[in-house]
Amino acid sequence: MQKICLLGSTGSIGINTLNVIRENKHLFQVSCLTVNSKTELLSKQIAEFKPEVVVIRDEKAADNFRKICSSKVEILSGEEGLLNATRDLEYDILVSALVGFAGLAPTIEAIRRKKRIALANKETLVVAGKLITEMANKNGAEIIPVDSEHSAIFQSLVGEHENSIRRIILTASGGPFRHHEISELGKVSVADALNHPNWSMGDKITIDSATMMNKGLEVIEAHWLFNLEADDIEVVVHPQSIIHSMVEFIDGSIKAQLSIPDMKLPIIYALGYPERLKNSFTVTDFTKIGQLTFFEPDFSKFECLKLAYDVLSQGGTAPCILNAANEIAVNKFLTEKIGFLDIPKIINDSLNKIEVVSSPDIETIFDCDRKTREFVELNY
Ligand code: NAD
Ligand code: MG
């Protein structure tokens, strides 16, 4: 029986993880659930999955929940609660499904303890990929990607040598604005941007998909997971999202992983690896899909994708600045304080204004994240 600590249980990946566990209760047991503030859903999850500990990051929500919770679960709160749980609790696999920079610190705790990390929180590798991969290698902690593209590449690499890879091809749906002219993008609404053609996900990653920043973050994530240079990571728009990504080898052969889009597949793979676990989730019928098509991404229309390649070449804290500026800008777009095209502008301005440190330690990364947030909050 594997014990699971699930960070972000009320989110899109969190709920899908619990769907996977529900079908596999003979294999997996929930030891900890963490949420930001959605205690109503958490309460139902406690009743069904009976964790020993829950963490509610929002202190006020935690206080209210302590008053009404009738279960004997231990309730921790705040960022300290999150760190205490990941540091002290007994578990085998950490499912890191928080959104944003908040995922970094608890993931580090689990790596220190040599746990398997089922990593959905790509921001962890974007901001601190060098330190995280070094720490994981040193401690022998496995990082198994949950992001569908990286899971596809990971699966395609089973049984292959690292030095036989020529390049990887990350597929992208292209998001809701694939057919828009750049002149129309300034006017798109929050509802338009949240209307993703293929995937149902949390708000932040859905906006990231509309700007194609999501693919940019994934290029950086792939760089650290698979030890490849930016030139060997190509992005191809594939609107059907059936091929989740591909690896081209030095002999010209290409391996890919395919299925209809369903995040439960990469999640169950990360939990079960190296075993494949039977499930009832998905049947892919190619006669219904009909066509698979591929297009070049438009870097001038989707400036965020270009910025992500730029910060990857720049290195140091540049990806951390990009990530923090993007998180605040996306929040501001979601609350209608800025327009869609202000997102890349704010990121660009932040990269121009904030000093890049070339070989940061972990404190420098936290400092850079804080400085960038302050800069964006103050100026926009
Ligand atoms: P979401 O917004 O649906 O869920 C986020 C979860 O984290 C919620 O449970 C929320 O309560 C919690 N949370 C949010 N902010 C927090 C904070 N500051 N401290 C503690 N907890 C906090 O997000 P999601 O779509 O499930 O995405 C989670 C992560 O997985 C992201 O990094 C995303 O890029 C990645 N990812 C998601 C998908 C997907 O299909 N949703 C696919 C690939 C990768
Ligand atoms: Mg993805």
CA–CA gap between residue 104 and residue 186 (Å, rounded): 32
Residue type, position 157, single letter: L
Same domain, 170 and 310: yes
Classify residue 306 as exposed, middle or buried by CB count within 10 Å of its CB (0-12, 13-18, 19+): middle
DSSP three-state, residue 365: helix
Range of the domain at 68: 2-145
Q: DSSP alpha helices (H): ranges in the chain?
A: 12-23, 39-49, 59-68, 78-88, 104-112, 123-139, 148-156, 182-185, 190-193, 203-211, 213-226, 264-272, 286-289, 303-314, 318-334, 342-353, 362-379
- Ligand 2 geometric centre to CA of 148 (Å): 5
Which of 91, 121, 145 terminates a domain? The answer is: 145
Q: Is 218 inside any structural domain?
A: yes
Per-residue pLDDT of the chain (380 residues; tens, 9 = 90+): 999 999 999 999 999 999 999 999 999 999 999 999 999 999 999 999 999 999 999 999 999 999 999 899 999 999 999 999 999 999 999 999 999 999 999 999 999 999 999 999 999 999 999 999 999 999 999 999 999 999 999 999 999 998 999 999 999 999 999 999 999 999 999 999 999 888 789 999 999 999 999 999 999 999 999 999 999 999 999 999 999 999 999 999 999 999 999 999 999 999 999 999 999 998 999 999 999 999 999 999 999 999 999 999 999 999 999 999 999 999 999 999 999 999 999 999 999 999 999 999 999 999 999 999 999 999 99
Last residue of a domain, one of 145, 174, 209: 145
Which ligand minimizes its atom distance to the CA of 8? 1
Please tell me whether residues 78 and 198 are part of one structural domain.
no
Looking at the structure, tell me whether residues 297 and 168 fall in a common domain.
yes
- Do 90 and 219 lie in a common domain? no
Instruction: Tell me, yes or no, whether 211 lies in a domain.
Output: yes
Kindly write down the DSSP assignment for every residue of 194-215, as one continuous string.
T--SS----HHHHHHHHHTHHH
What's the rounded Cα separation, in Å, for the pair 286 and 262? 15
Residue 284 lies in a domain: yes
Least distant ligand from the CA of 99: 1
Under 8 Å between Cβ of 87 and 109: yes
Report the CATH number that the domain containing residue 73 is assigned in CATH.
3.40.50.720
* CA gyration radius, the chain: 20
Same domain? 115 vs 219: no
| Ligand nearest the Cα atom of residue 40 | 1
Would you say the CB of residue 147 lies under 6 angstroms from ligand 1? yes
Nearest ligand by distance to the CA of 123: 1
The rounded distance, in Å, linking the Cα atoms of 245 and 238 is: 10
If asked whether residues 184 and 107 sit together in one domain, one would say: no
Instruction: Examine the fold and report which residue of 99, 126, 145 is the final residue of a domain before the chain moves on.
Output: 145
262 burial via Cβ count (<10 Å: 0-12, 13-18, 19+): middle
Residue 30 in domain: yes
Q: 157 with 287, same domain?
A: yes
Pocket test for ligand 1, best of 5, 7, 9, 13 (most atoms within 8 A of CB): 13
Ligand 1 within 6 A of 4 CB? Answer: no
Ligand 1 binding pocket includes 266 (Cβ within 6 Å): no
Is 218 near ligand 1, meaning CB less than 6 Å away? no
What pLDDT score was predicted for residue 286? Answer: 96
Atom of ligand 1 nearest to the CA of 36: 11
Q: What does the pLDDT read at residue 197?
A: 82
Q: Is residue 123 within 8 Å of 217, Cβ to Cβ?
A: yes
**Is there an atom of ligand 1 within 6 Å of 207 CB?**
no
42 in contact with ligand 1, CB cutoff 6 A = no
Q: What angle do CA 147, 22, 64 make, to 5 degrees?
A: 85
Same domain, 83 and 109: yes
Q: What is the whole-number distance in angstroms between the Cα of residue 12 and the centre of ligand 1?
A: 7
**Is the CB–ligand 1 distance for residue 81 below 6 Å?**
no
Q: Ligand 1 pocket, 121 CB below 6 A?
A: yes
Kindly report whether the peptide bond that precedes residue 319 is cis, defined as omega within 30 degrees of 0. no
Pair (81, 198) in one structural domain: no
Task: Compute how many other C-beta atoms are within 10 angstroms of the C-beta atom of residue 189.
Answer: 11
Tell me: do 243 and 132 sit in the same domain.
no
Distance (angstroms) between ligand 2 centre and the Cα of 149 equals 5
> Is 255 inside a domain boundary?
yes
| The total number of structural domains that make up the chain | 2
Same domain, 140 and 248: no
Whether residue 136 sits in one domain with residue 188: no
pLDDT of residue 198: 84
So what's the pLDDT on residue 196?
84
Residue 370 falls within a domain, yes or no? no
For residue 337, tell me if it sits in a domain.
no
What's the 11 CA to ligand 1 centre distance in angstroms?
Answer: 5
Asked if residue 380 is part of any domain, the answer here is: no
pLDDT at 199: 79
Residue whose Cα lies nearest atom 18 of ligand 1: it is 102
